Amino acid sequence: MGPRDALPPSARLYGTPADPGQHGGGVWRRWAGVLVALVAGTGLVAGATVVVLRFTAPQVETGRLSDSLAGVTATLPQGWTEGAVAPVTGFTSVVRDGDGGLIMARPVPGAVKDAKKATAEAAELYSRLLLKGDRVTIVEDRPMPDGYTRALRAEYQDVVNRPAFLRVMLLTRQDTAVLLVGLLQPEENSRRQALDAVMTSLR
């Protein structure tokens, strides 16, 4: 009897049974390869989706101020828009934040010999016109590389009006000057920073 005759009938028909350990490891290796490929493909799809969304997402729109009479321009941050007419006579442009904040600009005729004095006089004038506070305090008074600025804080005795903030900024140039007046009511630190950022961007 040969070796093949010693095998059971099924083995003679289909061949010698294979060791499960040999083929089982191959199956698991194949499944592991498939899983790795799936994970890598998922990562690539997610990354591509992020890139596409980043490039197709709408950008935050900003406004722009261009005052040819005062000679100032600025890109306005989100929330700030240019107004049609300034609320105070003589100012040639105005921007607002829609929440009680505004900035006005106007040209100053003639040469400015003393920027500090001119700024102080303008701050006094617009404090009486716009703030009308029961107590007005100077919170900042300093020169700038291209002019001078003074800031005032107004408090009120009644319980209705919260403190207000006024900044006057005089930009001096070679032949002309520009006066900027910024007003906040009510006053808040974060809003003051936003107001100052817009005012310093006007050039």
pLDDT tens digit sequence for 49-102 = 443 444 444 434 468 899 999 999 988 999 999 998 999 999 999 999 988 899
pTM above 0.75, yes or no: no
> What is residue 84's predicted lDDT score, i.e. its pLDDT?
87
Q: What is the dihedral of CA 6, 10, 11, 14, to 10 degrees?
A: 150
Between the alpha carbon of residue 102 and those of residues 1, 74, 184, 187, 190, the distances in Å are 109, 14, 7, 12, 15
| Six-digit token string for 156 | 């009120």
- Is the pLDDT at 107 greater than 90, yes or no? yes
Burial of 63 (0-12, 13-18, 19+ CB in 10 A): middle
State the pLDDT confidence band at 184, using cuts at 50, 70 and 90. very high
Torsion of CA 18, 24, 26, 28, to 10 degrees: 170
Average pLDDT of the segment spanning 113-124? 96
Residue 15, pLDDT > 80, answer no
Q: How far apart are CA 130 and CA 185, in angstroms?
A: 10
Split at pLDDT 50, 70, 90, the class of 6 is: low
pLDDT for the residue 49: 42
Work out the pLDDT band at 23, boundaries 50, 70, 90: very low
Give the model's pLDDT for residue 166.
Answer: 97
3-class DSSP state of 187: coil
- Strands 81-82 and 147-155, bridge-based pairing: unpaired
